[in-house]
Amino acid sequence: MILALILVPTLCGAAAFLLGGTGLRRALLIGAAVAHAGMTALAWWRTPEPALAGWLSLDAPGLLFLSVTSALFLAAAFYALGYLAFEPHGNVTDLEEGFLFKNAPEAVFISCMLIFLASMTLVTVSRHFGLLWIGIEATTLASAPLIYFHRHHRSLEATWKYLLICSVGIALALLGNFFLGAAIPSSGGASSLLLDELLRGAGSLNPAWLKAAFVLMLIGYGTKMGLAPLHTWLPDAHSEAPSVVSALLSGALLNCAFLGILRIYQLCGAAGQGELCQKALLTFGLVSVAVGAIFILGQSDFKRLLAYSSVENMGLLAVGLGVGGVGTVGALFHAVNHSLVKGMLFLLAGNILVVYRTKAIAPVRGLLRRVPWTGALWLAGFLAITGTPPFSPFFSKFLILKATFDTGHTTVGVLLLFLLAVIFIGMAKACLSMSQGAPEPDEPASPARGWLTVLPPAALAGVALWLGLGIPLRLVSLLDAAAKALGGLR
């Protein structure tokens, strides 16, 4: 079944590229998304058999990230239907600068979406460091054409930065993989880079090479995850990609890179090098939250605002992991919550962009009156992402903060509280002014894009609310198992 999880989207992606017919392609997109979500749901009840001699198998962290990816992709696929139905064929007018451009063919868009899903699935199920690397690199390559869907100079610049910065990062991570291989003692150690074998012989790994491997992988995958100061591609790519792609980049791709860091962290913890890793993660995390706060405050573009909020949240994940203990659970839970809420916010940003024809915050007024559903959800999303109860991000942020004080990182905790308050103010200023007020009376009637662009974000908001009101026991035990596997909880 693990193989099916990867093969179904891959084959559907190839079919969507090769076969003609708009209807068929869209059916393939929805079909693959539903089938993938169905198989993922099944994996919650029956752990799938390992495949390819143990190279592919699902453990607790893998299942957690697979589920998030699959759920978000399902929402994005339905949204994409509404989005693609609306996108005109032929020349498109740029919403910001007014010039004409063309979109990439829909066949390329849909097949890249599906291959993107397949590569993210590969990341979540691989137990071999080399395979994990291949998966993460494949996510970069599959998503680059998606960012360049609108073929104009801004998206091209964003794509180039994304490709180059992430490829360099990933190349460093590859060297990290080789260094990890060099850490294995010549006799009596693991015979390959399989995670399970490495964990069994963790004690005999050479510390110098292992530390170097961790640093390289943290930098490499951290670039992909958007940890400051390696985040420079992130705001550009997220703001220039079509909103449905931004939702997947922020909600699913960043998590996959985080999983890459989790794997090497897990190994370092088992080898008794956890302390160095935690210090490095804590530093990167705090810098990311601070950079997020600085650029959120006074941000004038709402898609970039969301992108910097992603940098901040990735920083929180790193801090949670860095302080350890219950912070590990908090970080994992927050990864789930951030994906749900940020995915929803980016989808809504797409709706706002279409109605108001601008990505600037200032001209957007009166969302609640002009587009009531999108406006209400936008407001809910703002409350959720800044950590207001009863939405689930409140609880995960609370867990991370609690862990900083519990483990004696008082300065970190106080600093984090301050930065989160700054971010709350920055986001509130932007989001409240967008939703409140009266819309300009003489604006042209906004084109309606139908329920398909409102229901998916509404569903994501519903899940975030549900997880906040009463987190299901199955999820608690999965988070627990994942944190134990990572060595966060004893």
Partner 1 sequence: MKLEWLLVLLVLSDLRLLASGRLGAKIRTVAAQGVLLGLVPLLGSSGYPDAHAIAIAVAGMLIKGFLFPWLLLRAVRETRVNREVQPYVGYLASVLIGLAGLAGAFLLSRQLTPLPGKATSLLVTAALFSLFTGLFLIISRKRAINQVLGFLILENGVFLFGAGAMGELSLLVELGILLDVLVAVFVMGITLFHINREFDHIETNRLADLKD
State which of residues 59, 106, 240, 312 lies at the interface with partner 1 (CB under 8 A).
Answer: 240
Reported as half-sphere exposure (CB side, CA atoms, 13 A), residue 139 has a value of 30
406 touching partner 1, by CB under 8 A? no
Q: How many CB atoms lie within 10 A of CB 474?
A: 10
Site size with partner 1, rule: CB under 8 A: 50
Distance in Å, CB of 395 to partner 1, minimum: 31
223: which 2 tokens?
Answer: 């670039």
141 touching partner 1, by CB under 8 A? yes
Q: Considering the complex, state which of residue 165 and residue 478 has its C-beta at the smaller distance from partner 1.
A: 165
Distance in Å, CB of 361 to partner 1, minimum: 13
- Specify burial of residue 89 (Cβ count, 10 A radius: 0-12, 13-18, 19+): exposed
Inter-residue contact 49 to 1 (CB < 8 Å): yes
164 touching partner 1, by CB under 8 A? yes
Residue 242 three-state SS: coil
Distance in Å, CB of 124 to partner 1, minimum: 17
208 touching partner 1, by CB under 8 A? yes
Amino acid identity of residue 9, one-letter, is P
State which of residues 12, 193, 217, 419 lies at the interface with partner 1 (CB under 8 A).
Answer: 193
Inter-residue contact 238 to 303 (CB < 8 Å): yes
263 touching partner 1, by CB under 8 A? no
156 touching partner 1, by CB under 8 A? yes
Residue 427 three-state SS: helix
State which of residues 92, 154, 425, 481 lies at the interface with partner 1 (CB under 8 A).
Answer: 154
Q: Considering the complex, state which of residue 108 and residue 489 has its C-beta at the smaller distance from partner 1.
A: 108
What's the chain's Rg over C-alpha atoms?
A: 21
295 touching partner 1, by CB under 8 A? yes
Judged by CB under 8 A, the stretch of 3-11, 156-164, 328-336, 467-475 that binds partner 1 is 156-164
175 touching partner 1, by CB under 8 A? yes
State which of residues 118, 236, 244, 468 lies at the interface with partner 1 (CB under 8 A).
Answer: 236
State which of residues 117, 118, 146, 174 lies at the interface with partner 1 (CB under 8 A).
Answer: 174
Judged by CB under 8 A, the stretch of 181-189, 252-260, 430-438, 446-454 that binds partner 1 is 181-189
Distance in Å, CB of 405 to partner 1, minimum: 33
What is the side-by-side strand order in the sheet with 150-151?
A: 91-93, 100-103, 150-151
The span from the CA of 104 to the CA of 224, in Å, is 24
User: In degrees, to the nearest 5, what angle opens at C-alpha 250 toward C-alphas 244 and 253?
Assistant: 100
Distance in Å, CB of 199 to partner 1, minimum: 18
State which of residues 89, 151, 279, 474 lies at the interface with partner 1 (CB under 8 A).
Answer: 151
What per-residue string of b and e applies to 119-143 under the rule 16 or more CB within 10 Å gives b? bbbbbbbbbbbbbbbbbbbbbbbbb
130 touching partner 1, by CB under 8 A? yes
Distance in Å, CB of 131 to partner 1, minimum: 7
Q: Nearest Cα to 130, choosing from 177, 164, 66, 92?
A: 177
Judged by CB under 8 A, the stretch of 73-81, 131-139, 272-280, 462-470 that binds partner 1 is 131-139
State which of residues 17, 86, 160, 398 lies at the interface with partner 1 (CB under 8 A).
Answer: 160
59 touching partner 1, by CB under 8 A? no
Judged by CB under 8 A, the stretch of 4-12, 167-175, 376-384, 446-454 that binds partner 1 is 167-175
Q: Nearest Cα to 412, choosing from 335, 328, 311, 323?
A: 323
Distance in Å, CB of 172 to partner 1, minimum: 8
410 phi and psi angles, rounded to 5 deg:
-65, -45
DSSP letters of 299-356?
Answer: --BHHHHHHHHHHHHHHHHHHHHHH-THHHHHHHHHHHHHHHHHHHHHHHHHHHHHHH
- Residue linked to tokens 């709402």: 302
Q: Considering the complex, state which of residue 103 and residue 239 has its C-beta at the smaller distance from partner 1.
A: 239
Distance in Å, CB of 296 to partner 1, minimum: 11
What is the distance, to the nearest Å, from the Cα of residue 100 to the centroid of all Cα atoms in its chain? 31
Distance in Å, CB of 167 to partner 1, minimum: 5
Q: Nearest Cα to 332, choosing from 82, 94, 60?
A: 60
Binding residues for partner 1, rule: CB under 8 A, are 128, 130-131, 133-134, 137-138, 140-141, 144-145, 148, 151-154, 156-161, 163-164, 167-168, 171-172, 174-175, 178, 181-184, 186, 191-193, 206, 208-209, 212, 235-236, 239-240, 295, 299, 304
